[in-house]
Amino acid sequence: MEKEIIKFPSVQGVSVIDRKTPEYFPPHWHNASEFTLILKDNCVYKIKDEVYHLNSGDILLIWPRELHEILSSPKEGSVFIQFSADIIENNLDLVSASKFMSACHVISAKKEPETAQILRDLIYEIGDIYSKKPSFSETKCKILIYRLLLVIGDYVMREQHEQNGPATFSTTSRNYIRSACNYIAEHSMEDISQAEVAAKIGLSPYYFSKLFKEYLQTSFPQYLTRIRLQNAITLLTEDSLSITECAYMAGFQSTTTFNKVFLESVGCSPREYRKLQYNQQ
């Protein structure tokens, strides 16, 4: 198993691999999402412990930090796009639906022909912009990626609705969570607490903790740590900052905690991550 650092050489946060995809690739993972359009029958992929047999027109969805591999694929058997996890993780709508979306790995052309066709067209459109590099290429590609995610989100939530009934969260509850997440994003570098955020949005600590976990499927400390980690990863690209400075500027209270969290989430130490980035550049 290897950690792969995705390169975004021409469009920041987006990469497109058109037909030059490998026929085999060993187990690996990366921080980016990877959506693959299958072009030929008899492609076999593995995500974690699940094996997927795919045919032409199917869409394979690999989410950030998922272990995956290509077991076998015909030559020029697929096209795929990769995009930064920030596109999902900095969007509250997508974060709140991530529990359901990340469980979806295949959109079958046979079972869901309309949805698969829409995704196929969007992937080709992203590839066209990526290759031609018109003005505002990054913005155009990311708008299309959001459209991809909206189509997938609508499909997943529709399936969820059919299986479990409609969502039970009220507009008021969603507004509380949105306010909390906005406050966390603005103050994550400070020593904030769950009780402080609850007070800022007008809820008791107990009710806020319960609502936050039910809505985002993660606890307040875990969510705050994830936001700080994203900020630290961005800061590590600044050569003028030491690793210790990056940790404290992102909101971590100790370098020991920062190094432990970074290793567990990213798969390497902050120093190793910075070295990998430097070597690729």
Question: CA 109, CA 43: separation in Å to the nearest integer?
Answer: 14
Domain ranges of the chain: 2-164, 168-217, 219-281
Contacts of 39 (CB under 8 A, 6+ apart): 19, 56, 76, 77, 78, 79
For residues 88 and 96, what is the distance between their CA atoms, to the nearest angstrom?
10
Asked if the domains at 2-164 and 168-217 fall in one CATH topology, the answer is no
53 strand-pairing partners: 44
- CA-nearest of 230, 14, 215 to 95 is 215
User: 271-277: long-range contacts at Cβ-Cβ below 8 A with a sequence spacing of 24 or more?
Assistant: 271/243, 273/5, 273/233, 273/236, 274/236, 274/243, 276/5, 277/5, 277/236, 277/237
The two tokens of residue 74 are 């015909």
181-240 residue pLDDT tens = 889 988 999 999 999 999 999 999 999 999 998 887 789 999 999 889 888 988 888 889
In 3D space, the residue among 24, 118, 127 whose CA is nearest the CA of residue 71 turns out to be 24
- Tell me the CATH architecture of domain 168-217: Orthogonal Bundle (1.10)
Decide: residue 267, CB within 10 A, 0-12 exposed, 13-18 middle, 19+ buried: middle
**Model pLDDT for residues 42-61, shown as the tens digit of each residue:** 999 999 889 999 999 999 99
The pairing of beta strand 14-18 with beta strand 78-83: antiparallel
- Burial of 211-239, coded b for 16+ CB within 10 Å and e otherwise, reads bbeebbbbebeebbbbbbbbbbbebbeee
What class is the 2-164 domain?
mainly beta
> Torsions phi, psi of 101, nearest 5?
-65, -40
Q: Give burial (CB, 10 Å; 0-12/13-18/19+) of 253.
A: exposed
Count of alpha carbons within 13 Å of 177, Cβ hemisphere only?
Answer: 24
Spell out a b/e string for 17-36, using b for 16 or more CB atoms within 10 Å of the CB, else e: bbeebeeeeeeebbbbbbbb
Q: Are 105 and 52 in contact (CB under 8 A)?
A: yes
Report how far residue 124's alpha carbon sits from residue 118's, in angstroms, rounded to the nearest whole number. 10
CATH homologous superfamily, domain 219-281: Homeodomain-like (1.10.10.60)
Please enumerate in sequence order all residues whose Cβ is within 8 A of that of 82, keeping only pairs 6 or more positions apart, or say none. Answer: 6, 14, 15, 16, 17, 30, 32, 33, 34
Q: What is the pLDDT along the chain (281 residues), one digit of tens a residue?
A: 577 778 787 888 899 988 678 889 999 888 889 999 999 999 999 998 899 999 999 999 999 888 899 999 999 999 999 998 889 877 878 877 777 888 899 999 999 999 999 999 999 999 999 999 999 999 999 999 999 999 999 999 888 766 655 555 677 887 888 899 889 988 999 999 999 999 999 999 999 999 998 887 789 999 999 889 888 988 888 889 999 999 999 999 999 999 999 988 777 889 988 887 666 55
